[in-house]
Structure 1
Amino acid sequence: MNTLRWFQIGIIVLSVWVSGQSVAQQPSNNPVALDTVKIEQLTGIKGKLDAAESVFKVSQPRTDLNAIVAGVKMTPPMGLTSWAGFQAAGDQVMVMGDIVLQEDQVNPVMSAALDNGLQVTGLHNHFLWDKPRIMFMHIGGMGTLETLAAGVGKVFAKVQETHSGKKPAAAIKLDAAKTSLDPKPIEAIIGAPVEKTGEVYKVTLGRTTQMNDHSAGKAMGVNTWAVFAGSDEKAIVEGDFAMLESELQGVLKALRGAGINIAAIHHHMVNETPKIVFLHYWGAGSVSDLAKGIKAALDTQAKS
């Protein structure tokens, strides 16, 4: 066989090998196509496609708020519009969003998100001197289009259900300076020492992270704490959870499951390793029930 023939055979073999490699290296799962009609059906909200980024976004202006910030009458385009964006992510769908809420809507809407396949990733204010008080809850998730869109639909439905603006009656009235509770059940349930600070009782549990190549821990504010005030049967607990990002959803679900309200989710630091998320909470009830709620949330951190 002449040299030219061997050369031709070599080219054919190489071409087949390269072709096979190309096919093998291609991802087996094609990106899921967004069914925008189904997203609108499941969320109950009309949406708009951003063709440049392939994101389908549903939005709901909060026209019912009648919000005033530092004397300025606000309109929905000034950051008072709830939204959720859907984007294909391989064989799954990713959702991110920001939900505009009054204070009394925060925890019912948060529970609706957590109970329906969504993550809650942030909770904070965007304004000062706002009337009524307005909070912003960030949501996210990765999964099937059906699960995520239905979850977003539940969130928007709960916003509509609770939008009357009626403030709930105070859950409890007490003077923290007249605290008479027994701290022993707190220590027994949570499993940590209780310190009396003034007239109230406080539990503090440290965490550790690295800041600028130095360890930062309990005394530097990297800690979970709970303050109890009131009587054994009529008490409040308020405090702060320090968590890894992977622990946030478990802690949220445990606290909400115990009827404890979430007041804020945010960061206290930047550039720390590992990243620490902080969650502020408030609950009312008997001392034992409140301590059990805090313990349940702590237990989720031990398991994560």
Structure 2
Amino acid sequence: MNTIRWFQFSLLLLCAIAACQVVALENQSHKGSLDSVTIEKLTGAKGKLDATENVFKVSVPRTDLTVMVAGVKMIPAMGFTSWAAFKPAGEQVMVMGDMVLTEDQVNPVLSMALDNGIEVTALHNHFLWDTPRVMFMHIGGMGDIEKLATGVGKVFHEIKKTSAVKVPAPHTPLVASKTSLDPKIIETAIGAPVEKAGEIYKVTISRSTMMAGHDAGKVMGVNTWAAFAGSDKKAVVDGDFAMLESELQGVLKALRSAGIFITAIHHHMTGESPKIVFLHFWGTGSVNDLAKGIKAALDTQASK
């Protein structure tokens, strides 16, 4: 009798352990799964699950665009599809993606991403000889799935909205070779010396990194610069920010808040340490407003 009871007890114990293991596996599976219904609802885009990598990817083909590349009529499947991929990352979710944008869409869509918790990680072209000119904005983020999916959804919506309204290219009728601005306004606002090169007033701020074990700095191209032309009230500025990766989002937000356009985000070197990211910009307005906008972006780097 004791033997039978012991056998029954052992059998019940094994069943209980097995049940606990099943529940644990189910919880683990649920914890690492993606709510594709929520992602599709909040992004407003249809997606597909890659079971091998456990990634859910939503895509929006730019069927509204008619793009010619060197005489070839392109279709969305040839690289003109906006997408965002979601993947579980511990307790959070990671998103990465690429937005297909015309030139006039870049800055409205970029601002929409930044305002809704989506990081902008690169901005560049993928083609040459394309008409209309198409830019590609890479995005990323880590956090709550609903927040990220909502942010991506607002980005997709902004692309759709701005596609429906054709915005003329910014036009500022001034000649850069005829400059009458007061350089002291720039020096006062930015807090850095101004150099005159012909009719252009330029501020250059050094950064540094290591290349193959050697210092690389200002003269080697590791610098932030801004070149001003025009008059005090009607000026143009263009330039390049050199940033650590951790500084990029702050600089982007500051420049866009000042109404300065972002024209490219990419790297100029490989193998450097620390990694330096470069951001090109363009803006028009009064010298004082433009210089203050650049100073605000510099201040975000100082705070880092």
Same fold (TM over 0.5): yes
State the SS of the aligned residue for 1:192.
coil
Aligned to 1:275: 275
Aligned to 1:64: 64
Tell me, yes or no, if the aligned pair for 1:102 and 1:165 is still in contact at 8 Å. no
Whole-Å separation in 2 of the counterparts to 1:202 and 1:209:
22
Residue by residue over 1:188-232, the C-alpha shift from the partner in whole angstroms, topping out at 9 and shown as x without a partner, is 110000011111100000101000100000000000000001110
Q: What's the Cα RMSD here?
A: 1.3
Read off the aligned partner of 2:198 and give its amino acid letter.
G
Read off the aligned partner of 2:44 and give its amino acid letter.
G
Q: Does 1:241 align with 2:233?
A: no
Percent identity between the aligned chains?
A: 72
Tell me, yes or no, if the aligned pair for 2:42 and 2:149 is still in contact at 8 Å. yes
Displacement after TM superposition at 1:164 (Å): 3.2
Read off the aligned partner of 2:39 and give its amino acid letter.
I
Aligned to 1:79: 79
Whole-Å separation in 2 of the counterparts to 1:292 and 1:32:
46
Tell me, yes or no, if the aligned pair for 1:203 and 1:226 is still in contact at 8 Å. yes
State the SS of the aligned residue for 1:239.
strand
Whole-Å separation in 2 of the counterparts to 1:260 and 1:147:
27
Aligned to 2:91: 91
Whole-Å separation in 2 of the counterparts to 1:166 and 1:199:
34
Q: How many pairs align?
A: 277
Read off the aligned partner of 1:70 and give its amino acid letter.
A
Aligned to 1:186: 186
Kindly report which structure 2 residues correspond to 1:92-111, keeping only aligned pairs within 5 A, or say none. 92-111=92-111
State the SS of the aligned residue for 1:203.
strand
Whole-Å separation in 2 of the counterparts to 1:241 and 1:119:
17
Unpaired runs of 5+ residues, structure 1, are 1-25
State the SS of the aligned residue for 1:104.
helix
Displacement after TM superposition at 1:172 (Å): 1.6
Residue by residue over 1:269-297, the C-alpha shift from the partner in whole angstroms, topping out at 9 and shown as x without a partner, is 00000000000000111000000000000
State the SS of the aligned residue for 1:176.
coil
Tell me, yes or no, if the aligned pair for 2:263 and 2:281 is still in contact at 8 Å. yes
Aligned to 2:15: none
Q: Does 1:215 align with 2:218?
A: no
Residue by residue over 1:85-138, the C-alpha shift from the partner in whole angstroms, topping out at 9 and shown as x without a partner, is 000000000000000000000000000000001100000000111000000000
Residue by residue over 1:57-92, the C-alpha shift from the partner in whole angstroms, topping out at 9 and shown as x without a partner, is 000000111000011100000000000000000000
Tell me, yes or no, if the aligned pair for 1:32 and 1:93 is still in contact at 8 Å. no
Tell me, yes or no, if the aligned pair for 2:96 and 2:140 is still in contact at 8 Å. yes
Aligned to 1:149: 149
State the SS of the aligned residue for 1:271.
coil
Whole-Å separation in 2 of the counterparts to 1:169 and 1:283:
13
Whole-Å separation in 2 of the counterparts to 1:239 and 1:164:
31
Whole-Å separation in 2 of the counterparts to 1:171 and 1:34:
46
Tell me, yes or no, if the aligned pair for 1:43 and 1:156 is still in contact at 8 Å. yes
Whole-Å separation in 1 of the counterparts to 2:72 and 2:165:
20
Displacement after TM superposition at 1:167 (Å): 3.6
With normalisation by structure 1, the TM-score equals 0.89
Read off the aligned partner of 2:150 and give its amino acid letter.
A
Read off the aligned partner of 1:258 and give its amino acid letter.
A
Read off the aligned partner of 1:56 and give its amino acid letter.
F
With normalisation by structure 2, the TM-score equals 0.89
